[in-house]
Chain A
Amino acid sequence: MTKSYRSKILLGLTIAFGLSTTGWAQMMINGAGATFPYPIYSKWFDEYAKVDPSVRFNYQSIGSGGGQKQILAQTVDFGASDGPMSDDNLAKAPGKILHIPTVAGAVVLTYNLAGNPSLKLDGEAVAEIYLGQIKKWNDPKITALNAGAKLPDQDIVVVHRSDGSGTTFIFTDYLSKVSAEWKQKAGNNTSVNWPSGIGGKGNEGVSGQVKQTPGAIGYVELIYAVQNKMPYAEVKNSAGQFVKPTIESVTAALATADIPDDFRFSMTNAPGKDAYPIAGATWLLVYQQQKDAAKGKKLVEFLKWALTKGEGMAKDLNYAPLPDDVQQRVLKRIDEIKT
């Protein structure tokens, strides 16, 4: 290494150090939370770096529980969660927290049956399978929904997520809506007291279990089933139609779901004949009153970009974008963020 080269590096370092101490460095906006939307969020942050190079995002996918905790503790600039925050948790916040829905996804029922027959299920059947009441594949309640299909006289091996997850939240939210017995016996949370079945860790754990076990049924995210070419069932929605889980049928569910003004909504069992019933949105959590004006301004700019340009990238990553009218409502809410 020549002397002049070395001094150039030294000069560079000095300049870099000088810049960073005088505040010319990139602004860093920190976020943490849900793992489900992590692929699209990281895509957004990547693309947004080209739009506004002065700001960088650092997102840690530590889970929805962590996201809610950190935004409450104000250790991050925004949180992310697969379920809306409870009233109890919101009451703990030092300021008003806004829920910004970003994208939605479906939870599908995947199964392992010889010959991969197509399968149709309704809410009642799914609930009774997971309650451990329907034990065989050729139970009349299942065969009645699948006229013509030959279902074997085989034990159903029920598989569920063992880790707390937004996927489980959406799935048990649906079951609680369609089955009073489920609501009373197990209820709705990121993890519940399962009446039956074995637990697999993560989407990969459940799908691994299902793939390995003849007669198994499990629930995973749509993206996961599509990427792994696993069969999944059509589910009867509240309009009485059997609907295949797709990005379109999830967006259809979003369009017909009852969305209140605070955006803390559940879109499972949504009305509408094209709506797939087991689906859920994911949210970013931000304070209405931003503490740091400069950061807050950049965050608002990003959110606006995400809800318009960003939504266009959702389909490529197998997420369902928000319908136009919901987008408009969310954008209006973003305008209310004060910096």
Chain B
Amino acid sequence: MYRSGLPLLINVLSFMAVAASIAVGERSVQARMASPSRFGDKAFEWLTLAMALVVVVLITLIGWQLWIGSSVAIKKFGFHFLVTSTWDPVAEQFGALPFIYGTLVSSLIALLIAVPLSIATAAYLTELAPLWLRQPLVSLIEMLAAIPSVILGLWGIFVMIPWLRDYPFPFLKRVFGWTPFFSGPIYGPSMLAGGIIIAVMILPIITSVSREILRSVPDLQREAAYGLGATRWEATRIAVLSYAKKGLFGAVILGLGRALGETMAVTMVIGNTPQIAASLFKPGYTLASVLANEFTEATTDMYLQALFEIGLVLFGITILVNLLAQLLLRTITTASTTRAVQ
């Protein structure tokens, strides 16, 4: 189910990994069987290798095309493109900083909301919920993933924003108004609203993946914990969640990948104003949104070039975030292995 909703890149990366591991596994099996002359095996190896290469070529071509499409803008604006804030199609001055900021902040808000919710939901579904309730709940969550993004966006404009503006936002302002994050006038469309709608959209995927991961935790773990006299909470926390830490982290990264590229619904509620403001009540803008908004009607060359460069930046950020996540994942794994050895 969740594969269909993933952004291209994640799909591509995971596919690459699978294809590569198949190719590698094939080779080691061959070595063990010591019969390398069999044509079928060779053909299979080449086939899978070709599949894996198609993906690599595809990703390179996308990057290359974006680079070519934006080469003039890159030459003209250079590094300034990444650190300036003016977006003026009339004067042809372009800077992507507010969009980069908006993309990262809205995704961060989404993760802060969606991760605890999703993992708690997954834990409830696998550990605590009565059996008769599990399947209906799972189906409901998966249905949430099936709602088209534009529908969520309309719901965002006509239902979520008026509600947020009338109840939760004034409450946040009353309680946390002394911090810069919740100060200033409340319009409704805002960075916070954008983050919340992304949270709704990535909730199903993080929940589904987390649930699969928690389900794969061997019962032996739980039984051992109970055997030592652990309470239900202790067993879930120590024996299940901690055991599945790495997988859960992977689930979060899948969610993040989707959050970074989320376009339609965010565009409809974030307010589309390229500015960097501390207050989450102020409208913001994301890389994906500016592409969706302005690509169709951009007529001048430099304008199009700048939009292509926005695409390139989004492409880069997605790859960078994924690499960072891989690194972090490795650190976590090494740390826990070391502890286990000690």
Q: Which residues of A contact B (CB under 8 A)?
A: 35, 62-66, 68-69, 83, 85-86, 88-89, 155, 157, 162-166, 186-194, 197-201, 204-205, 208-209, 212-213
CA distance A192 to B88 in the complex (A): 6
Q: Is the CB of B297 within 8 A of A200?
A: no
CA distance A166 to B296 in the complex (A): 11
For chain B, which range describes its interface: under 10, 10 to 19, 20 to 34, or 35 or more residues?
Answer: 35 or more
Q: Which 5 A-B pairs have the closest CB atoms?
A: A164-B297, A63-B296, A199-B272, A162-B272, A187-B90
> Which residues from chain A contact B91 at a C-beta distance below 8 Å?
187, 193
Q: Is the CB of A191 within 8 A of B293?
A: yes
Given A163-B293, A198-B189, A213-B188, A89:B299 Cβ within 8 A = yes
Q: Which of B17-25, B104-112, B157-165 contacts A (4 or more CB under 8 A)?
A: B157-165
21 residue pairs of the A-B complex, CB under 8 angstroms, read: A65-B298, A68-B299, A69-B299, A89-B300, A157-B187, A162-B272, A162-B289, A162-B293, A163-B294, A163-B296, A190-B297, A193-B87, A198-B271, A199-B272, A201-B293, A204-B154, A205-B157, A209-B189, A212-B158, A212-B161, A213-B188
> Which residues from chain B contact A197 at a C-beta distance below 8 Å?
273
Q: Which residues of B contact A (CB under 8 A)?
A: 86-91, 154, 157-158, 161-162, 165, 185, 187-189, 267-268, 271-273, 283, 285, 289, 292-301, 304
CA distance A198 to B293 in the complex (A): 14
**Closest beta carbon of chain A to B97's beta carbon, Å:** 14
Q: Chain B at the A interface: mostly helix, strand, loop or mixed?
A: loop
**Closest beta carbon of chain B to A155's beta carbon, Å:** 7
Kindly report which residue of chain A lies nearest to residue B289, judged by CB atoms. Answer: A162
Kindly report which residue of chain B lies nearest to residue A163, judged by CB atoms. Answer: B293
Q: Is the CB of A194 within 8 A of B273?
A: yes
**Closest beta carbon of chain A to B258's beta carbon, Å:** 20
Given A155-B185, A199-B283, A164:B90 Cβ within 8 A = no
**Closest beta carbon of chain A to B316's beta carbon, Å:** 24
**Closest beta carbon of chain B to A75's beta carbon, Å:** 16
Q: Chain A at the B interface: mostly helix, strand, loop or mixed?
A: loop
Q: Is the CB of B188 within 8 A of A164?
A: no
Given A68-B299, A164-B294, A201:B87 Cβ within 8 A = no
> Which residues from chain B contact A200 at a C-beta distance below 8 Å?
189, 268, 272
> Which residues from chain A contact B271 at a C-beta distance below 8 Å?
198-199
Q: Is the CB of A212 within 8 A of B162?
A: yes
Q: Is the CB of B161 within 8 A of A190?
A: no
CA distance A290 to B150 in the complex (A): 40
- Listed residue (B89, B295, B299, B304) with the most chain A CB atoms within 10 angstroms of its CB: B299
> Which residues from chain B contact A35 at a C-beta distance below 8 Å?
296
**Closest beta carbon of chain A to B289's beta carbon, Å:** 8
Given A192-B88, A201-B272, A208:B298 Cβ within 8 A = no
CA distance A314 to B162 in the complex (A): 37
Q: Is the CB of A193 within 8 A of B297?
A: no
Q: Is the CB of B299 within 8 A of A64?
A: yes
> Which residues from chain B contact A155 at a C-beta distance below 8 Å?
185
Kindly report which residue of chain A lies nearest to residue B296, judged by CB atoms. Answer: A63
Contact of B89 among A88, A162, A193 (CB under 8 A): A193
